[in-house]
């Protein structure tokens, strides 16, 4: 077998020069790159969050540490990995994280998470979900969830979480400081959603979508009432009259498609719909104007009268 012939001297010289020439070319390109075309952080550009500039220089006697961090739908997992979907599905629009005070290792003593949930009811819904079994005690005008290390509240469309990492940090004082810079709340309270007179309220919660598996029922406020020695679970949706009428039609179409028995029940100026659901049991609903209400219970005359009185101002035929 013939031995391989050595490369010509010119080719060997060219190959020897290639690495330094390549390095020099890359260095030159780095010095003359177009900053508008090259970005190691991706092409995403965001308008500055005006709230970041309004955050107080101190909270609860602690100075602000560093620049507030901002998270969006694309990178929220970097901050709450494993729990991001919970916020994304609840209406998440953005998150601002501010830190106050530092220990000897440079770690914050107080962290404020300011979630923009898009709508006041979405923020309230997240607070109710976070509260879990304690949600029944949060039905006031300005519900606050307190734990050993944290305090959470809503302010309009903002859901605010305060977490302390040192004893003695005054969380209520920090909350008061944040409320001052957040300004007037833009309305929206679970207490604002009206229900028929079903009895004393036991608990309230908010469900953003797919209430009890019904795709048509979104942005639902569910309320438990004490009634007749037991409990009554009722739900309500408030929206523009055209939207409420659309929800009603979608519910009836779903019941027909699933072959769930239902029947109209006239009650004054409105019509209730009694449903025999093989999964949820007997329940009913009715729509009028900008409201749709229902309850998971057999329909009787007293319940029908309460719903009719509630919806009579704007009935849907």
Model pLDDT, residue 33: 40
Q: What is the pLDDT of residue 275?
A: 96
Report, as an integer, the average pLDDT of 271-281: 92
Lowest mean pLDDT among 22-36, 214-228, 233-247: 22-36
In 3D, which of 295, 310, 301, 300 has the Cα closest to residue 195?
A: 310
Residue 282 has pLDDT above 60, yes or no: yes
Spatial neighbors of 46 by CB under 8 A, at least 6 apart, are 70, 72
Q: Is the pLDDT of residue 241 over 70?
A: yes
HSE-CB at 195 with a 13 A cutoff on CA atoms is 23
* Run of H or E residues at 158: strand 158-164
Mean pLDDT of 9-27: 48
Residue (of 86, 81, 138) closest to 117 by Cα position = 86
How do 58-59 and 62-63 pair as beta strands? Answer: antiparallel
Mean pLDDT confidence for 204-228: 87
User: Which of the 8 DSSP states describes residue 212?
Assistant: G
Lowest-pLDDT choice from 115-119, 157-161, 188-192, 284-288:
188-192
DSSP letter for 141, please: S
Give 51-94 pLDDT, tens digit per residue: 898 999 999 999 999 999 999 999 999 999 888 888 888 889 99
pLDDT band at 156 (very low <50, low <70, confident <90, very high): confident
pLDDT at 135 over 80: no
Closest among 198, 281, 261 to 232, alpha carbons compared: 198
Neighbours of 52 (CB within 10 A): 14
Query: What are the residue ranges of CATH 3.40.1000 in the chain?
Result: 193-314
Cα–Cα distance list, 249 to 42, 244, 245, 263 (Å): 45, 9, 6, 14
**Which pLDDT belongs to residue 280?**
87
Q: Residue 274's pLDDT band (boundaries 50, 70, 90)?
A: very high
Q: How far apart are the first and last CA of the chain?
A: 98
Identify the band that residue 36 occupies on the pLDDT scale cut at 50, 70 and 90.
Answer: very low
pLDDT on residue 315 = 42
Instruction: Of 40, 108, 36, 33, give the one whose Cα is nearest residue 68.
Output: 108
The secondary structure element, H or E, covering residue 204 is: strand 201-207
- pLDDT given at position 81: 82
User: pLDDT tens digits for 291-312?
Assistant: 999 999 999 999 999 999 999 8
The set of residues, in sequence order, having a beta carbon less than 8 Å from that of 176 and lying 6+ positions away, is none
What CATH number was assigned to the domain covering residues 193-314? 3.40.1000
Q: pTM score > 0.75 for this model? A: no
> Which has the higher per-residue pLDDT, 208 or 28?
208
Listed residue (150, 169, 156) closest to 123, CA to CA: 156
Neighbouring-strand partners of residue 159: 115, 154
User: Is the pLDDT at 112 greater than 60, yes or no?
Assistant: yes
Instruction: Please give the Cα distance from 195 to 237 (Å, whole number).
Output: 10
Mean of the per-residue pLDDT values of the chain: 82
pLDDT of residue 206: 78
pLDDT of residue 316: 41
Alpha carbon distances (Å) from 51 to 137, 172, 259: 30, 20, 51
Which residue blocks in the chain are alpha helix, DSSP H? 9-31, 50-54, 84-88, 120-131, 171-182, 241-257, 301-311
Sign, CA dihedral 277-200-189-87, equals negative
CA separation for the pair 17, 12 (Å, rounded): 9
Q: Is the pLDDT of residue 314 over 50?
A: no
Residue for token pair 């709340």: 185
pLDDT of amino acid 176: 93
Sign of the Cα torsion 308, 310, 311, 312 reads positive
């Amino acid at each position: 077998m013939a031995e391989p012939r050595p490369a010509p001297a010119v080719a060997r010289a060219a190959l020897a020069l290639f690495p330094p020439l390549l390095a020099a070319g890359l260095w030159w390109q780095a010095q003359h790159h177009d900053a508008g075309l090259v970005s190691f952080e991706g092409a995403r550009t965001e308008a500055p969050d005006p709230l970041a500039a309004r955050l107080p220089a101190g909270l609860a006697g602690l100075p602000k540490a560093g620049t507030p961090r901002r998270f969006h739908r694309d990178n929220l997992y970097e901050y709450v990995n494993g729990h991001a979907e919970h916020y994304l599905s609840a209406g998440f629009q953005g998150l601002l994280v501010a830190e106050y005070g530092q220990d000897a290792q440079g770690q914050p003593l107080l962290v404020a998470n300011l979630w923009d949930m898009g709508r006041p009811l979405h923020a309230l819904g997240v607070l109710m979900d976070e509260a879990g079994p304690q949600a029944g005690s949060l039905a006031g005008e300005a519900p606050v969830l307190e734990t050993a290390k944290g305090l959470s509240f809503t302010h309009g469309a903002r859901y605010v979480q305060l977490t302390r990492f040192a004893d003695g940090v005054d969380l209520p004082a920090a909350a008061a400081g944040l409320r001052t810079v957040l300004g007037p709340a833009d309305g929206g309270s679970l207490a604002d959603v009206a229900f028929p007179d079903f009895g004393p309220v036991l608990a309230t919660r908010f469900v953003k979508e797919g209430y009890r598996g019904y795709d048509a029922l979104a942005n639902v406020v569910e309320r438990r009432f004490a009634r007749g020695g037991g409990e009554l679970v009722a739900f309500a949706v408030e929206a523009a009259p055209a939207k409420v009428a659309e929800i009603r039609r979608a519910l009836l179409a779903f019941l027909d498609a699933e072959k769930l028995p239902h029947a109209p029940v006239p009650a004054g100026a409105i019509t209730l719909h009694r449903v025999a659901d093989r999964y949820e049991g007997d329940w009913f609903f009715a729509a009028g104007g900008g409201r749709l209400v229902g309850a998971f219970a057999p329909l009787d005359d007293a319940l029908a009268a309460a719903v009719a009185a509630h919806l009579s101002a704007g009935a849907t035929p």
